[in-house]
Amino acid sequence: MNQRIFKLAMAALTLCGTVALAGSSQAYAQYRRAIHLAANATGLPFSDGIVVGNTLYIAGQQGADQSGKLVAGGIGPQTRAALETIETVVKKAGFQMSDVVAVNVYLADIHDFAAMNEVYKTFFPNPKPTRTTVQVAALVNGARIEISAIAVRNPRVHFVPASDH
């Protein structure tokens, strides 16, 4: 009799665990959404941003205009364009620039650091997000800069903008 109860209990636990896992994966899939900008309508295989829970992951953005072409004028204008695109993704996802907690900056030439920094510092309120800046061998499209970021929204604030599907 005890063995029969044990087997029934194990079967019930297995069923509950399976249902819980299936439910949580569905909830996860529903809570994970992509942010797409019109400028990335070129069919490239990535999203401009992904929201998971209260965190926004922003793909690397180059210093391009809304048509996707690199802006002229070097590192200053390209930095501004990249950060403006990041700001667009942040706002489209329902976040604010003050929610950005980490930034990665990829420079084609580390000698552009000071000029990049002059523009960069105007985009984020205090406290500034953490940042990593590195020189890379090359960037796609001959860009001078690419910037990615992560933003975390206060979990007590829940905002769901209209779907972009």
Please give, one letter per residue, the 3-state secondary structure of the chain.
Answer: CHHHHHHHHHHHHHHHHHHHHHHHHHHHHHHEEEECCHHHCCCCCCCCEEEECCEEEEEEEECECCCCCECCCCHHHHHHHHHHHHHHHHHHCCCCHHHEEEEEEEECCHHHHHHHHHHHCCCCCCCCCEEEEEECCCCHHHCCEEEEEEEECCCCCCCCCCCCC
Whether the per-residue pLDDT at 14 is higher than 70: the answer is: no
In-domain check, residue 118:
yes
Does the pLDDT of residue 76 top 60, yes or no?
Answer: yes
**162 occurs within a structural domain:** no
Q: How many domains does the chain have?
A: 2
Q: What is the pLDDT of residue 165?
A: 45
Whether residue 11 is predicted with pLDDT greater than 60 in this model: the reply is: no
Question: Would you say residue 163 lies in a domain?
Answer: no
Residue 113: the pLDDT is 98
**Residues 43 and 56 both lie in one domain:** yes
Q: What does the pLDDT look like over 100-124, one tens digit per residue?
A: 999 999 999 999 999 999 999 999 9
Residues 16 and 45 both lie in one domain:
no
pLDDT tens string 42-52: 667 888 999 99
Q: What value does the mean pLDDT take over residues 13-34?
A: 54
Do both 80 and 11 map to the same domain? no
What's the predicted TM-score (pTM) here? 0.76
Within a domain: residue 69? yes
Q: Which of the pair, 6 or 149, is modelled with greater confidence?
A: 149
The band of 72, judged by pLDDT with boundaries at 50, 70 and 90, is very high
Structural domain for 4, as ranges: 1-31
pLDDT range class, residue 68, cuts 50, 70, 90: confident
Query: Does residue 25 sit in the same domain as residue 53?
Result: no
